[in-house]
């Protein structure tokens, strides 16, 4: 009896000691999580110098309206509207015409040079494109105002190209025109390049990069489209966030080809070419290209996470513990998944032409959007390893294949100038370095520059997202004003 009681006593003491130990560990863990979260805050914003000057928004709106009326449809490159647009620019912007020299690259991409006072400084380049995507005929009747009318009401300029990308072009030139009128001369030479075929090939931008290269001109940075100031687009984030994108994804399409004997469908083998191919596609979908919170993806989410509520910040601030959970959550939503990894999208399929004929060949096309950490080769080897079936061959479709861009420096002066000009214009909003998941001309200009940054200085909401390449595209007068102020501040810094 005594022995039992003695044993129980020891056991009880031991349990208490363990519980105290575990409790202390949990408290310590909690303290670490909280301290990390408290220290994980947005960077201090040194000083925001509100851009105080008059902006003639009505005039700029009229110019954008006029720009929209040129039907520079990228699918009709022979339209006289391309040349008409180029000829209209010097009429609308006479000071630009007087203060710069212009060359036409690839016949239809005007490149303006505004010479700086210090030839020792590397030039910079502001890019935009003036071609637009076509209007789908069935949607024409859904436009509130005809797409090429450039209708202006008290809030918006309506029409194809307002958001993508004539709005940037016009506000950029208004800012330059204003600075030129005030007698300002930049220290760095500033180029303006207006691509004529961004929506199809980007041959204009590529030719500009080649032209600059042939003159031994290395740019300090270029600024092009590729992101916006996002207002309530990121779930759970109240503050607008300017994503200044450092890189853009590449693209490659792989054809997967399965072959089998063919014959009549009344006596099929266990697997037809279609069955073999289906299994290959399924395997690919089950095994996404490895990705995660590294490189530019890590920087984006690390900067973004600081602006969330305290509860959510605990997760972002403690990726040493919650990293795998966070990556799981981000991988579940297509928009955040695209920021983490090379995406895999099977898009086209073909097999036999007849229901009763076995296919001798079945082909799938799979479209990959390449994260900067991956290459064509790394994707092909991932695909071949994953499918693991030598009855399926893999072919790289060279046309339109383009690697991911290099990742630009977020500590370089160009980035800091862009960031400061965003803050001057929009106030103390969140700014983060990001990744463009679609293709733009920026990757082509980047060949001639140390760094390429991507953002248009317009605040967009979820409602605007469907208007891109869609119906009822429009740009608010408020955004036109912001655009002019932003470009003005950015040019002043050069
Ligand atoms: Zn565009």
pLDDT tens, position by position, 188-246: 999 999 999 999 989 999 999 999 999 999 999 999 999 999 998 888 888 999 999 99
Does the active-site annotation cover 81?
no
486 Cα to the center of ligand 1, angstroms: 19
pLDDT of 2 over the 60 cut: no
**What pLDDT is stored for residue 47 in this prediction?**
62
Q: Give residue 129 CA to ligand 1 midpoint distance, Å.
A: 7
CA of 103 to the centre of ligand 1 (A): 22
Residue 1 has pLDDT above 60, yes or no: no
The fold adopted by the segment(s) 248-402 is Alpha-Beta Plaits (3.30.70)
The pLDDT tens digits for 419-453 are 999 999 999 999 999 999 988 999 999 889 999 99
Contacts of 363 by beta carbon, 8 Å cutoff, 6+ apart: 255, 256, 257, 258, 277, 348, 349, 350, 351
Q: Which long-range contacts (CB under 8 A, 24 or more apart) does 393-397 make?
A: 393/256, 393/257, 393/259, 394/254, 394/255, 394/256, 394/257, 395/254, 395/255, 395/257, 396/252, 396/253, 396/254, 397/252, 397/253, 397/254, 397/255, 397/365
pLDDT recorded at residue 5: 67
Tens of pLDDT along 276-320? 999 999 999 999 999 989 999 999 999 999 999 998 999 999 999
Ligand 1 centroid to Cα of residue 158, in Å, is 16
* In the chain, ranges of CATH 3.40.630.10 domains: 57-246+406-492
What does the mean pLDDT of the chain come to?
Answer: 93
- Stretch 85-92: mean pLDDT, rounded? 97
Which class does domain 57-246+406-492 fall in?
alpha beta
Place of tokens 């022995």: 3
Q: For 7-21, 267-281, 371-385, 429-443, which range has the lowest pLDDT when averaged over its residues?
A: 7-21
User: Which pLDDT score, from 0 to 100, does residue 14 have?
Assistant: 82
CB atoms within 5 A of ion ligand 1 belong to: 164-165, 225
Position 50 scores a pLDDT of 67
Q: What pLDDT does 236 receive?
A: 83
Q: Where in the chain is the domain with CATH 3.30.70.360?
A: 248-402
Predicted pLDDT of residue 234? 86
Report how far ligand 1's centroid is from the alpha carbon of 203 (Å): 14
Which of 73, 131, 177, 441 is labelled catalytic? 131
3-state secondary structure the chain: CHHHHHHHHHHHHHHHHHHHHHHHHHHHHHHHHHHHHHHCCCCCCCCCCCCCCCCCHHHHHHHHHHHHHCCCECCCCCCCHHHHHHHHHHHHCHHHHHHCEEEEECCCEEEEEECCCCCCCCCEEEEEECCECCCCHHHHHHCCCCCCCCCECCCEEECCCHHHHHHHHHHHHHHHHHHHHCCCCCCCCEEEEEECCCCCCCHHHHHHHHHHHHCCCCEEEEEECCCCEECCCCCCCCCCEEEEEEEECEEEEEEEEEECCCEECCCCCCCCHHHHHHHHHHHHHHCCCCCCCCHHHHHHHHHHHCCCCHHHHHHHHCHHHHHHHHHHHHHHCHHHHHHHCCEEEEEEEECCCCCCEECCEEEEEEEEEECCCCCHHHHHHHHHHHHCCCCEEEEEEEEEEECCCCCCCCCCHHHHHHHHHHHHHHCCCEEEEEEECCCCCHHHHHHHEEEEEECCCCEECHHHHCCCCCCCCEEEHHHHHHHHHHHHHHHHCC
What spacing in Å lies between the alpha carbon of 458 and ligand 1's midpoint?
13
pLDDT digits (tens, 9 = 90+) for 33-57: 899 898 898 877 766 666 678 899 9
Catalytic residue among 63, 73, 164, 198: 198
User: For residue 8, what pLDDT is reported?
Assistant: 75
198 is catalytic: yes
**Range from 17-21, 256-260, 350-354 carrying the lowest mean pLDDT:** 17-21
Residue 484 Cα to ligand 1 midpoint, Å, equals 18
Instruction: Render pLDDT for 146-159 as a digit per residue (tens, 0 to 9).
Output: 999 999 999 999 99
Q: What is the mean pLDDT of residues 5-19?
A: 79
- What is the pLDDT, as a whole number, of residue 46? 67
Q: What is the pLDDT of residue 432?
A: 95
Q: Pick the most confident of 18-22, 266-270, 379-383.
A: 379-383
Span 474-491, average pLDDT: 97
Q: How far is the CA of 130 from the centre of ligand 1 (A)?
A: 8
Output the pLDDT for position 79: 96
Its pTM stands at 0.90
Residue 17 has pLDDT above 90, yes or no: no
Cα 225 to ligand 1 centre (Å): 6
* pLDDT of 3 over the 70 cut: no
């Amino acid at each position: 009896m005594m022995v039992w009681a003695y044993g129980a006593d020891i056991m009880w003491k031991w349990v208490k000691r363990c519980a105290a130990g575990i409790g202390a560990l949990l408290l310590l863990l909690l303290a670490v999580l909280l301290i990390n979260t408290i220290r994980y805050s947005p960077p201090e914003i040194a000083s925001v110098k509100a851009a105080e000057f008059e902006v003639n928004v009505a005039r700029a709106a009229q110019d954008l309206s006029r720009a929209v009326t040129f039907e520079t449809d990228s699918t009709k490159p022979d339209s006289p509207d391309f040349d008409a647009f180029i000829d209209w620019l010097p009429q609308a912007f006479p000071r630009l015409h007087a203060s710069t020299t212009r060359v036409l690259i690839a016949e239809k991409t005007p490149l303006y040079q505004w010479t700086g006072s210090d030839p020792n400084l590397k030039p910079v380049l502001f890019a935009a494109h003036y071609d637009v995507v076509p209007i789908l005929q069935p949607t024409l009747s859904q436009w509130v105002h005809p797409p090429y009318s450039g209708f202006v009401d008290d809030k918006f300029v309506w029409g194809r190209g307002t958001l993508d990308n004539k709005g940037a072009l016009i506000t950029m030139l208004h800012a330059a025109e204003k600075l030129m009128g005030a007698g300002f001369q930049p220290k760095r030479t500033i180029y303006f390049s207006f691509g004529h075929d961004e929506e199809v090939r980007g041959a204009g931008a590529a030719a500009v990069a080649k032209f600059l290269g042939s003159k031994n001109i290395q740019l300090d940075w270029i600024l092009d489209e590729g992101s916006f100031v996002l207002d309530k687009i990121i779930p759970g984030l109240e503050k607008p966030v300017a994503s200044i994108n450092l890189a853009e994804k590449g693209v490659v399409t792989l054809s997967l080809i399965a072959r089998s004997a063919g014959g009549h469908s009344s006596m099929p083998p266990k697997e037809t070419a279609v069955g073999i191919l289906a299994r290959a596609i399924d395997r690919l979908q089950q095994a996404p290209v490895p990705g995660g919170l590294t490189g530019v993806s890590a920087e984006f989410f690390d900067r973004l996470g600081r602006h969330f509520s305290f509860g959510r910040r605990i997760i972002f601030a403690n990726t040493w513990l919650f990293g795998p959970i966070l990556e799981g959550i981000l991988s579940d939503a297509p928009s955040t998944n695209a920021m983490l990894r090379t995406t895999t999208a099977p898009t086209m399929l073909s097999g036999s032409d007849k229901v009763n004929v076995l296919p001798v060949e079945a082909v799938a096309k799979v479209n990959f959007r390449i994260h900067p950490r991956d290459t064509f080769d790394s994707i092909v080897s991932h695909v071949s390893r994953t499918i693991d079936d030598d009855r399926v061959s893999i072919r790289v479709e060279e046309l339109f294949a383009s690697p991911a861009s290099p990742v630009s420096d977020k500590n370089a002066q160009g980035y800091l100038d862009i960031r400061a000009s965003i803050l001057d214009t929009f106030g103390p909003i969140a700014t983060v370095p990001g990744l463009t998941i679609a293709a733009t001309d920026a990757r082509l200009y980047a060949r001639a520059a140390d760094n390429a940054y991507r953002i248009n200085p317009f605040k967009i909401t979820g409602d605007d997202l469907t208007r891109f390449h869609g119906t009822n595209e429009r740009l608010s007068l408020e955004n036109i004003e912001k655009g002019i102020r932003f470009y003005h501040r950015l040019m002043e810094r050069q």
